Structure 1
Amino acid sequence: MGRTHTMDATPLTLGQEFSGYVALLKKGISSLEKSLSGLQGLALGGTAVGTGLNAPCGFAEKTTQYIAEMTGIAFYSGANLFAAISAHDDLVHAHGALRQLAISLNKIGCDLRMLASGPRCGLAEIILPANEPGSSIMPGKVNPSQIEALTMVCGQIIGNDAALCFGAANGHFELNTYKPLIIANFIQSATLLGDAVHSFALNCIRGLR
């Protein structure tokens, strides 16, 4: 049964409902993949403010080429080093894709938690795997712990996005000094999302009935 405003609406199949989830995730992954090329632009050779003062001629190109060969990643010299040093729009864009995935995953998790509610007095349209059955006073009770873990991670990523955007907005004049705030939140978000999605797929989705 389809639902709007959490109330019964018109019929749909479970497959149709899950096809919506798949579409959300595909779109999020596509957004993330498209954002990656922006992260490959380097500000090497811009020196202090982007003018390249005191950098040897050809330094940026040669160093960028060496890093690309060493890592196997197609790094390139940034088109405008003034922008690359004073702002971090590419990181904002890429983290926005992580946030987009987190928002979609949170929606999916909340739906699954409600669909599995009960089982006697809830919807009980799906059954979650019993990863941690039982409690001190309710034997056999199965809590949606994997979903709760996922949605907490999603909340953290959404919060990290706000902090990262604040850092990116503080690129005063020719240098953004909030780089530690930006990169710390970005790395945490990427790490948390990767770990959470792996655990969710392995310990929840795979055993869904």
Structure 2
Amino acid sequence: MIRWDWIGRHADDILAQLLQHVELTGFALLFGFAIAFPLALAAIRWPRLYGPSLAATGVLFTVPSLALFILLIPFTGLSMATSLIGLTIYTLLILFRNIVEGLRGVPFEVREASRALGYSKSRQLLTVELPIALPVIMAGLRIAAITTIGLVTVTALIGQGGLGRLFITGFTLHFTTPLLVGFVLSIALAVAVDLSLAGVLWLATPWNRGRRT
């Protein structure tokens, strides 16, 4: 079923596609967080913004991925920019919602105590609120990461796609080996990223160790 000789001959290509998959996922999460975080802070500061922001990101999330990439092609072409814009859009709903819920979950008494100690708003956010909200925020980041890893494969249809190119090759040639390689590596990447983010959370929140979140 598996042609190991084919894998050996294409090892460099497979590695390049895996690295592109990681690159697209990483940049999409980075850009998504850079947009969702200030949007979430604005929604906390001005609660009336929460509903429209949630609705807007929700509508964008429901757009079929291939349709969204096709809509972007006239503006950005068959480029990595097209892939990144689409992938970033799909992270916004998950990240925005979890950041808001995490910050809303900070106890009122904790905020009041930090104000009584003379903390500025920025210091309160960075040293008090974010550490408490981090488990919820990281949960959203883990979901967004796994979702993005799956969506990256769709961008193979516009010339990107990372491991998705293996699926295109397999389907085009009716060849099982690249399909299995792409499938196994996609799952392995999702598991590795999820465990890595869980490890980061474990290191960043020592007070939560030994407790279920």
Larger RCO: 1 or 2 (CA < 8 Å, sep 6+): 2
Q: Under a length normalisation based on structure 1, what TM-score does the superposition of the two structures give?
A: 0.33
User: TM-score if structure 2 supplies the norm length?
Assistant: 0.33
Higher fraction of helix: 2
